[in-house]
Amino acid sequence: MRYSVTDVFNMLGEEALTIERMERKSRKSLEVEGFQVYTESLRYATFYQKGCECACCGKVGTYFELDPGDNPNRRHFNLYAEDGTLMTKDHIIPTSRGGKYNSVENLQTMCVDCNRAKGANMC
């Protein structure tokens, strides 16, 4: 099932989407389609704060789908472009080069193809 970007951001709530750093203490979740979904995520915060457009090619994420994770009782929202391309979060300064791992400040939206091509390089 597809969810609009606006609908997902409304479900997650502004408090979760405006986080600057991710601390792995207790994470809030909500129920969607009978599954638990964490509301706080650096991916969600990056898409909300920095936009849904790939920083390299300009492809735009337009919808979310609820996809399975490692836990059978949990799902997470993945962002996709209209052609089905997965949108990801990318470290602007790779962690292998000293970039911060858990901070929105060091993240940008990137399609999976551009992210793979970039690897541990900087744009």
Torsions phi, psi of 8, nearest 5? -65, -45
The pLDDT confidence band at residue 112, using thresholds 50, 70 and 90, is very high
Mean pLDDT of the chain: 91
The pLDDT confidence band at residue 3, using thresholds 50, 70 and 90, is very high
Burial of 75 (0-12, 13-18, 19+ CB in 10 A): buried
The pLDDT confidence band at residue 122, using thresholds 50, 70 and 90, is low
Residue 116 CB: number of other CB atoms within 10 A? 10
The pLDDT confidence band at residue 10, using thresholds 50, 70 and 90, is very high
Instruction: Pull the structure tokens for residue 52.
Output: 């849904």
Answer for the pair 28, 40: CB distance below 8 angstroms, yes or no.
yes
Answer for the pair 18, 12: CB distance below 8 angstroms, yes or no.
no
Average of pLDDT values for 97-109? 89
Residue pointed to by tokens 């993240």: 107
Residue 25 has pLDDT above 70, yes or no: no
Instruction: Pull the structure tokens for residue 89.
Output: 């979060």
Crossing angle of helices 5-12 and 42-50, in 10° steps, is 120
- DSSP letter for 85, please: P
Average of pLDDT values for 16-34? 84
Average of pLDDT values for 18-39? 85
Tell me the pLDDT tens digit for each residue of 36-79: 999 989 999 999 999 999 999 999 999 999 999 888 999 999 99
Torsions phi, psi of 48, nearest 5? -70, -45
Average of pLDDT values for 97-108? 89
Higher pLDDT, 22 or 66: 66
